[in-house]
Structure 1
Amino acid sequence: MHHFNYVDGRLHCEGVPLEDIAREVGTPTYVYSTATLERHYKVLSEAFDGSKYLIAYSVKACGNIGVVSTLAKLGAGADVVSGGELAKALHAGIPAEKIVFSGVGKTRAELTAALEAGIHQFNVESFPEMERLNEIAMSLGKKAPIAFRVNPHVDAGGHANISTGGAEHKFGIAWHEAGEMYAQAAAMEGINPVGVDVHIGSQIMDVEPMRIAFEKVVTLVRELREQGINIQRMDLGGGLGIPYSPKDNPDSPAKYAQMIREVKQGIDVQLILEPGRMIAGNAGVMLANVEYVKERDGRTFVILDSGMNDLARPALYDATHEINLLNEPAADASLKPVDIVGPVCETTDRFEEARPMPPLKQDDKIAFMSAGAYGAVLSSQYNARPLAAEVIVNGDSYSVVRPRPSYEDIIALENQPSWIE
């Protein structure tokens, strides 16, 4: 569910007409709904009521500080994968003791900052990482709480590029290595092995692949406890899918929670959940303007002011988004197949081919729906195009939470070489 609806023929985010934001802020612009973010967090939280759990919002899905601080107020923690995301989470008001640090390539500086902050857990992905973390922890007189990300060899995800649980993927340690790795961790002065972590992919519509992976994790927890390693936490990652179109029917948070209760029956642990897309995906849209409608060789190209640098998912994952006009077309409007493309000088700068759309003309405004996750965070300034603005709506008010940089702002980040006058 989301809070983007037509009211008197105008597409609104909560109580604000999106046309007003497009006119006042410009396009391309991302718009997030506070009410949708709050609802999605609460639905997941209520599904786990009665369990020991930490919802660590996956900052990589949508890292805008306005979004993260909205979730922080609800009690969310954070799953971060870089020093920058750690700094953002702390700045947004998420306590360090609710932060989990994931990722395969943590630098010395990042590990040091997280140790000094006193985060809840490091999700360690290799023996060299554990050695580095142990060295830094001892130098600081600390003991790092860790979970190994264990690869269960279970494939899942809506696209090959977002599946992470197979043996060929870079993430985690091999299943057969887990026992020895935990034994070595327990013997290290600066390491405290407290959990087991697993994450098999993203945009998973059916919880059954997760059940298979989680059952393996429960078995591992039992084995480690029998070896005298006091595992207190199961980090089950994220990955639950969302509806990108009306025909999508992902399993619900309630079904997800029930499956986890069944799997972990008899195991007293803290559950760590790392939802990102599930909370932010349907909470955001991207606004764009039609610059030209071009007819050529029997095709119609609708050329936008927004490109693959603004919304990369179609180019990266062959993803599709529902596209709505900001002014509602007539119910009986005829649909015509058009290619919806951007201005970037790349053939892959194409949002969709032969998309049936109502009549579009120059300066019409459209919204890419369900763009809240992996939208703005994946954007770039390729072709020296300014990053899209970001706006968050609360009721009938809105705030610009990331202004669009000017050309001068972009240029100010660079310098002439010293030998050029």
Structure 2
Amino acid sequence: MTLPGHPFLTARDDGLWLEGLPLLELARRFGTPLYAYSRNAMRAAAASYQRALAGRPHLLCYAMKANSSLAVLQTFAEAGCGFDIVSGGELQRVLAAGAPASRIVFSGVGKTHDEMRQALDAGVRCFNVESEPELAALSEVASSLGRRAPMSLRVNPDVDAGTHPYISTGLKANKFGVAHERALSVYRQARELPGIEVVGIDCHIGSQITSASPYLDALDRLLDLVDALAADGIDLRHIDLGGGLGITYTDEEPPSAEDLVRQMLARIDERGHGHREILLEPGRSLVGNAGVLLASVLYLKPGEEKNFCIVDAAMNDLVRPAMYQAWMRIEPCVRRTTQARTWDVVGPVCESGDWLGHDRKLAVEPGDVLAVLSAGAYGMTMASNYNTRPRAAEVMVDGDAVHLIRERESVAQLFAGEKLIAG
């Protein structure tokens, strides 16, 4: 039986399996904490977007901040995807994974001059510019190199995506993009700058969005601008619709990628822009439900008000619960027939905010392995070394094969670059 939202994770009589391998076997072989990913889940998620985009010019750009492990990037590069990056470091990761720079769009509100030069030298496809000062800086850097930077303006449409405030990006109160009302003026400035080539328009309104309506509202505002720009003599080659489609953590029912994309393409066609290339920047919806975090139960600590199930994974391994109060499903890798009790699943870090799940009904014993589901996005990529804890290992499951894609860190690696004061 597959778990809801997790087509490559199955519950069998002998426990949870990821594709063709039992999770318990992975935990025993590689140790815990351990991130395990389904490669075929990633391929299937990308294919759902690509089917909807078939027959028209497009580029599906994986928003790699969701999960930037090299083997994950390799998987999407082999699937024909481009990449949405937000730093010079992410640029180097994409290139190391074997993807061409011509399939990279560079987003982010704080690009440095060095990062701009690095991206121009590499030959990225486009810069998604997010402010007027950034536009001027990009022109200056490109001109100093004797080049023109391909530029798309990220427009903030002031549309409420109906998501957590920390991951909402399309409102006036957010730091991202240029206000819709200012966009035409900024494009006119861009047209006159010597180091800028205007090629597109971009919009991204948030993450974990579970309804199509915010996308369509933002798209209407974006297309109004495309019409106004064309009337002003600025004809854009592409429309970048961003990403942010949600996944099922609990009982969310987001539209499928195919359904969402078809609705947006229909609106674009209705408005007469079907000839333009379409870019999309999904992240979470490509990797979120492809991954699990495996943790071993260390101790069971019953209390007067709370019962604590203490595991070896912590907020440094998975910060989403502490940062966003995110609910993530937790399942034993092997089911017991003993009576379930209500536990708070917590880690060893010295913080009361170090928890993975509150009030979970679990039948567990010390030594058992738990799987935190939907951990493929914003898990390892946001991990830290707080409390001098080495980061987890990562494995990629592909059918009945498993590949170690990141070795577990050692404590010695954590302070290898530090220096004692001489004398």
Task: Kindly indicate whether the alpha-carbon contact (under 8 Å) linking 1:243 and 1:250 is maintained by their aligned counterparts in 2.
Answer: yes
Quote the offset at 1:8 in angstroms: 3.7
Q: Secondary structure at the match of 1:113?
A: helix
2:156 matched to 1:151? yes
Distance 2:237 2:143 in 1: 22
Asked whether 1:140 is paired with 2:145, we answer yes
Distance 1:190 1:411 in 2: 43
Aligned 1:6-405 pairs, distance under 5 A: 6-245=11-250, 247-265=251-269, 266-267=272-273, 268-330=275-337, 334-357=339-362, 359-405=363-409
Instruction: Name 2:3's counterpart in structure 1.
Output: none
Cα distance per residue 1:212-252 (max 9 Å; x no partner): 0001101101110110112111111101111112x221111
Distance (whole Å) between structure 1 residues aligned to residue 399 and residue 238 of structure 2: 38
Q: Kindly state the Cα deviation for residue 353 of structure 1 after the two structures are TM-superposed.
A: 2.1
Deviation at 1:413, TM superposition (A): 2.6
Question: Could you tell me how far 1:82 is from its partner in structure 2?
Answer: 0.5
Structure 1 portions without partners, runs of 5+: none
After superposition, what is the alpha-carbon deviation per residue over 1:370-393, rounded to whole angstroms, capped at 9, x for unaligned? Answer: 100000001000000000111111
1:137 partner SS: helix
CA separation in 2, counterparts of 1:15 and 1:280? 18
Give me the whole-angstrom Cα distance separating, in 1, the residues matched to 2:39 and 2:304: 44
What amino acid sits opposite 1:24 in the alignment? Answer: R
Shift of 1:50: 1.6
**What 5-or-longer segments of structure 2 have no aligned partner?**
1-5
Contact residue 6 and residue 328 of structure 1 kept, 8 A: no
1:411 and 1:23 mapped to 2: Cα distance?
28
Instruction: Report the more deviating stretch, 386-395 or 334-343.
Output: 334-343
For 2:87 and 2:7, locate their aligned partners in 1 and report how far apart those are by CA, in whole Å. 29
Contact 1:238 1:275 in 2 (8 A): yes
Q: Distance in 2 between matches of 1:203 and 1:139?
A: 40
SS in structure 1 of the partner of residue 342 of structure 2: strand
Which range is displaced more, 13-22 or 179-188?
Answer: 13-22
What is the CA–CA distance in structure 2 between the aligned matches of 1:289 and 1:157, rounded to whole Å? 35
Q: Normalized against structure 2, the TM-score is what?
A: 0.96
Deviations 1:232-291 (A, max 9, x none): 11111101111112x221111122112111221111211110010000000000000111
Contact 2:330 2:357 in 1 (8 A): no
Identity over aligned residues, as a percent? 43
Name the SS for the 2:111 alignment partner. Answer: coil
RMSD of the alignment, in Å? 1.2
Number of aligned residue pairs: 415
CA offsets, 1:189-231, max 9 Å, x none?
Answer: 1101111110000000001011000011011011101101121
Q: Which moved more, 1:368-377 or 1:87-96?
A: 87-96
**1:157 CA drift (Å):** 4.4
